[in-house]
């Protein structure tokens, strides 16, 4: 099973939202990481067939999804950034309604809906109206409807936006549980959402995939650009305006430990620090960083 993006491009007037993205996805969890406005949602809407590319195409097992039509949609599960629901529906009403749209028979729809509501932690809440749900409960309902048809391709667009840390952890665990033998594409600008569950990270900037690879490989490539320095606390505030700061930790005696990313040490007394995926993200999206298509991290540092 393969999902291929071949020179996928989308323009809105003169603006290029997605610029010749090419990659092939096989079963596994892919984290699409990028700042707001990087083109993630546009890319995912093209993957789902909601938006037609300006050029290039998406192929599933070698066939363009534009030719597969309903056959592709039957194998797809999609949770958009703001998924639509009817607030006066109960959770079960909504699930059965979505099941009917996906072609499930009435008996299968009821059984599958109850099974999935239980699995996402909404067992016992199936008769509650959706308008009474918290944001986290609505997102869990969104996951449940996305997997109703046991899809082979799952697409989640910024699924944890607005959720508290506990709900984000719960969401990540659910994604892991539903991902076996599926192609899962999850977009976010929150590094921790994909750091521990993604088999591969795709970093998107200005419409292009600028980095891709397993998290451990990408983090290793950030060696030599993460630094820590101990400075007076007042100096730490000044540095925040000058450098890309990852963290400031106040110490005793009016001093602070500053962690920052840069090509070379920029503060006297700086020592190398072990990089994290968040450090890599900060480096790629720092002010003035190059945004060239297909840029390798080492090239991004010196290109």
**Residue ranges covered by each domain of the chain:** 3-219, 221-288+295-302
Report pLDDT digits (tens) over 163-180.
788 888 888 888 888 888
Q: And the tokens for 190?
A: 């929150």
The mean of the pLDDT values for the chain is: 89
> 78 Cβ partners below 8 Å, 6+ apart?
48, 50, 146, 154, 155, 157
Question: 123-156, pLDDT tens digit by residue?
Answer: 999 999 999 999 889 988 998 999 999 999 999 9
Closest alpha carbon to 261 in 223, 218, 302: 223
At residue 134's C-alpha, the angle toward residues 128 and 137, to 5°, is: 70
- The pTM score is 0.86
Decide yes or no: CATH 3.40.50.300 for domain 3-219.
yes
Instruction: Give residue 118's pLDDT.
Output: 93
Distance (Å, whole) CA 76 – CA 279: 33
- The backbone region for 162, taken as left when phi is positive above 0, alpha when psi lies in -120 to 50, beta otherwise, is left
Helix crossing, 91-101 with 106-119: angle to 10°? 130
Helical residues (DSSP H) of the chain, grouped into ranges: 40-47, 65-68, 70-73, 91-101, 106-119, 135-146, 165-178, 192-195, 215-221, 233-242, 277-284, 297-302
* Alpha carbon distance 194, 34 (integer Å): 11
What gap in Å lies between CA 151 and CA 289, rounded to an integer? 38
The string of pLDDT tens digits covering residues 95-120 is 999 999 888 888 889 999 999 999 98
In sequence order, the 6+-apart residues with CB closer than 8 A to the CB of 123 are 114, 117
């Amino acid at each position: 099973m393969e999902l291929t993006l071949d020179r996928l491009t989308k323009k809105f007037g003169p603006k290029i939202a997605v610029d010749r993205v090419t990659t092939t996805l096989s079963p596994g969890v892919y984290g699409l990481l990028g700042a707001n406005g990087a083109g993630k949602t546009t890319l995912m809407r093209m993957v789902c067939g909601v938006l037609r590319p300006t050029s290039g195409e998406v192929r599933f097992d070698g066939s363009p999804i534009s030719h597969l039509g309903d056959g592709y949609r039957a194998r797809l599960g999609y949770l958009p950034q703001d998924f639509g629901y009817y607030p006066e529906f109960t959770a079960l009403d909504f699930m059965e309604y979505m099941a009917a749209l996906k072609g499930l028979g009435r008996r299968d729809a009821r059984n599958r809906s109850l099974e999935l509501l239980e699995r996402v932690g909404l067992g016992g809440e199936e008769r509650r109206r959706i308008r009474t749900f918290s944001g986290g409960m609505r997102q869990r309902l969104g996951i449940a409807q996305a997997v109703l048809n046991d899809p082979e391709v799952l697409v989640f667009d910024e699924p944890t936006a607005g959720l508290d840390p506990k709900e984000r952890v719960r969401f990540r665990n659910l994604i892991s549980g539903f991902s076996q033998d599926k192609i899962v594409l999850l977009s976010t600008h929150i590094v921790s959402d994909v750091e521990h569950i993604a088999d591969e990270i795709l970093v998107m900037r200005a419409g292009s995939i600028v980095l891709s690879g397993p998290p451990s490989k990408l983090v290793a490539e950030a060696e030599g650009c993460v630094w820590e320095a101990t400075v007076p606390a007042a100096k730490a505030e000044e540095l925040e305006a000058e450098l890309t700061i990852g963290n400031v930790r106040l110490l005793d005696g009016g001093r602070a430990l500053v962690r920052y990313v840069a090509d070379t040490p920029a503060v006297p007394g700086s020592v190398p620090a072990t990089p994290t995926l968040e450090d890599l993200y900060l480096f790629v999206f720092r002010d003035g960083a190059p945004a060239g298509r297909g840029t390798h991290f080492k090239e991004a540092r010196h290109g």
